[in-house]
Chains A and B, each alone.
Chain A
Amino acid sequence: QKEVEQDPGPLSVPEGAIVSLNCTYSNSAFQYFMWYRQYSRKGPELLMYTYSSGNKEDGRFTAQVDKSSKYISLFIRDSQPSDSATYLCAMSNSGGSNYKLTFGKGTLLTVNP
C-alpha cells in the first residue's frame, strides 16, 4: 500500500461548482498536511496547510483532516476557471533528523466557464 493515495482524476466541473479533492494515507506519523497547486508547466506552490485534525478555511478553500480515518480533503467553493490546475496533497511528520515529506500523485482539475 502506498503511503499516500490520491485519485489522479481528471476532474472536470462547471464554473461555480463545489469541488472536493481527497487523499488517504497509511503512515500514522504524519501530522502536517498540505495542499500544493500546480499550474500547467509551472512548479507547485503551497496553497494551504493544516496541523493534525480539523478544518482550516482560506477564502473559497477549506482544508479538512480526519486523522482517525487517515483522510484529508480540500474543498473549493464557487470554483473558477482560474482554479484549473493539478492539486497535490503532501504530508510530513514532526520533523527533526527523520523528517519525511511525501506527496500524492496529484489530481488534475479543470473548471469550465
Chain B
Amino acid sequence: DAEITQSPRHKITETGRQVTLACHQTWNHNNMFWYRQDLGHGLRLIHYSYGVHDTNKGEVSDGYSVSRSNTEDLPLTLESAASSQTSVYFCASSERLAGTGELFFGEGSRLTVL
C-alpha cells in the first residue's frame, strides 16, 4: 500500500542546532506540504512544493527551509532551532490541487527544542 512516512517520530534538540525532518511518500504525488500543529493555532502551513525543484513559502516559513530533489521526498530543515519551534510537524501529499483534493498526512514528528 502507498503511504507517507516521517522520521524521526520524536526528537529532542538544543537551541541553535540544525534539525532535519524527513518525509517520504510512495503515492508519486507531485504536491507535498509541511504543517506544524500547536494548541490554539491548529495546522499552519510552513512550506509546500508542487513538483521537483519547486518550493514555496507558507504562512509560517521563517526559520525553516525545504528542498525537493525528487518526487518522493520533501525534507524540512530548521537552520537554527529555537524554542518557539517546539511543535508537532506533519507532512502531507496530494494528487491534485483542486476542490476536495485529499491530503494524505504522515503520523507526525514531535520536536522539542530545549
Residues of A within 8 A of B (CB): 6, 8, 31-32, 34, 36, 41-46, 49, 51, 88, 92, 94-96, 99, 101, 103-106
Contact A46 B42 (CB under 8 A): no
Chain B neighbourhood of A95, CB < 8 A: 96-99, 101
Residues of B within 8 A of A (CB): 40-43, 90, 92, 96-103, 105-108
Contact B98 A103 (CB under 8 A): no
- Knowing A31-B99, A94-B99, A95-B97, say if A106 contacts B42 (CB, 8 Å): yes
Contact B42 A51 (CB under 8 A): no
Chain A neighbourhood of B105, CB < 8 A: 43-45
Chain A neighbourhood of B108, CB < 8 A: 41-43
Q: Among B90, B92, B96, B98, which residue has the most Cβ atoms of chain A within 10 A?
A: B98
Contact B42 A49 (CB under 8 A): no
Chain B neighbourhood of A106, CB < 8 A: 42-43
Partner of B43, one of A32, A94, A99, A103: A103
Contact A43 B97 (CB under 8 A): no
Q: How far is the CA of A105 from the CA of B38 in the complex (A)?
A: 9
Can you report 10 A-B residue pairs in the complex whose CB atoms are below 8 A from each other? A41-B107, A46-B100, A49-B100, A51-B100, A94-B99, A95-B98, A96-B98, A103-B43, A104-B42, A105-B42
Closest to A50 in B: B100
Chain B neighbourhood of A51, CB < 8 A: 99-100
Contact A43 B98 (CB under 8 A): no
Q: How far is the CA of A106 from the CA of B101 in the complex (A)?
A: 19
CB distance from A36 to the nearest CB of B (A): 8
Contact A92 B100 (CB under 8 A): yes
Chain A neighbourhood of B92, CB < 8 A: 43
Contact B99 A32 (CB under 8 A): yes
Closest to B108 in A: A43
Partner of A88, one of B40, B43, B98: B43
Contact B42 A88 (CB under 8 A): yes
Q: How far is the CA of A44 from the CA of B105 in the complex (A)?
A: 6
**Closest 4 pairs between A and B when the two form their complex, measured CB to CB:** A95-B98, A43-B105, A105-B42, A49-B100
